[in-house]
Structure 1
């Protein structure tokens, strides 16, 4: 993105205050609610690939894995743009002049890789009408909660999370953007019998990345060599993504990483005791 545009957005974010609203009882960002008609009426394409997650479930990790599978492991092509540009977040409406996820997706050629945090009951119906393949990445609630808390502290588009004690209660009751973790995960899980949905678990990816990357590859109809998969594994490792300016959000004007890093490990056991 043009540096002048980034600077303009950064200045706007200095006085920006996030608001909340509700769609069918699900808490969402106010800007998402305001643009709901354009989001819900989004037109999917048959060759789209949708990555669906609850916030802080490892979304950026899966976005990079899927993108590199489509690029056949070519890391240079993977660095063609920041993750948030090459994989539009369809339910996000940031302050102008930054384009919304819908606007960005509409400018892209097929095949597109898209991202959503929406619970399944709010997903635009065109995704089902076009029988789009969905990769759902699930992470245990404790790690999601810790990562989400710190993410809300650094992301100026999201409401301030307040104290850890208050946030703990808010998360459990679903009074956070995109609602209750359990409802989100179980809703997508139950839909696997009716739609093309691949469920991948964060903890399984940590345990054996090659095995899980291979599952994603097969689901996407690709056939890559072990050498290519090893390359994808390397370039999507925690350390590689932390150092990669295209994945670590270091250039994103909405992030204040002086508070906490965007890419961090969900150390829930430590945080529950010390925060």
Structure 2
């Protein structure tokens, strides 16, 4: 399929035509948020699946059934993906756990009125690129990445699914009502997962004792989560994701870009990053 056939443009942002049907996008536009909703927001390949494992375990007080019996796309559904409008989310009891890859300025009007809690997960964009390169090679609903140098230019220009990483991150960093948003990085979660779980639980006003916090952190270690069939997408049809080409949950590490990018590509990435982020005051873990 051609790039034009694979993607649709919504609010100026490229999205997968197969995964984001007009009906699904309309459903999200009309979606009614509640003030006690919990919304996980990420740019793709920044730790969404990981956070979809952590948050339900926190909210269930560590009960593993919350992640062992329900696929992650049902337990914490993406609001913009095709099947989500069939999940009867309006009937789910509060607090609902939801997810989106939308930029801040793409959010529907009810989001700004209800002001739900948001967990915004960021990741070193070089690692986002690396993970994306492998993901685009195994997902049939995305354009084949082609040569790495070409995909790098597309990624840095925002000509990929969900557009520019830079625009996405800046839109959420500049969001209003920041007291309702928790900013956390993939790298922080890797460095100290137990502390990250405790911080997320505190943000969600969920009291957990030290033993439960430790059990959740242990269960959510990448090596353990990777074995969970409800999270590793092993049940996804191979014609949608061919995991013989690349596993959906691949390495789960920080710094893999060093094994992917050439020296020249890394230097070019740094130059673009410096230019695009020059007005951002936030200090990132990876800087």
**TM-score for the superposition, normalised by structure 1:** 0.86
Aligned residue number for residue 86 of structure 2 = 103
Q: What CA distance in whole angstroms lies between the structure 2 residues aligned with 1:43 and 1:102?
A: 12
Aligned residue number for residue 120 of structure 1 = 104
Q: What CA distance in whole angstroms lies between the structure 2 residues aligned with 1:157 and 1:251?
A: 17
Q: What CA distance in whole angstroms lies between the structure 2 residues aligned with 1:255 and 1:224?
A: 36
Q: Does 2:13 match 1:26?
A: yes
Q: What CA distance in whole angstroms lies between the structure 2 residues aligned with 1:168 and 1:101?
A: 31
Q: Does 2:162 match 1:178?
A: yes
Does the residue aligned with 1:249 lie in a helix, a strand or coil?
coil
Does the residue aligned with 2:128 lie in a helix, a strand or coil?
helix
**Of 126, 129, 132, which aligns to 2:113?**
129
Q: Does 2:194 match 1:207?
A: no
Aligned residue number for residue 72 of structure 1 = 61
Query: Given that residues 22 and 33 in structure 1 are in contact (C-alpha distance below 8 angstroms), is that contact kept between their aligned partners in structure 2?
Result: no
Query: Given that residues 21 and 81 in structure 2 are in contact (C-alpha distance below 8 angstroms), is that contact kept between their aligned partners in structure 1?
Result: no
1:22-79 per-residue CA deviation (whole Å, 9 max, x = no partner) reads 1232112225262332221111223211000000001000111111000111113321
Aligned residue number for residue 247 of structure 2 = 261
**TM-score for the superposition, normalised by structure 2:** 0.83
Q: Shift of the alpha carbon at 1:84?
A: 1.2
Query: Given that residues 56 and 66 in structure 2 are in contact (C-alpha distance below 8 angstroms), is that contact kept between their aligned partners in structure 1?
Result: no
Aligned length: 253
Contiguous gaps of at least 5 residues in structure 1: 1-16, 94-99
Q: Does 2:210 match 1:226?
A: yes
Alpha-carbon RMSD: 2.0
Does the residue aligned with 2:174 lie in a helix, a strand or coil?
helix
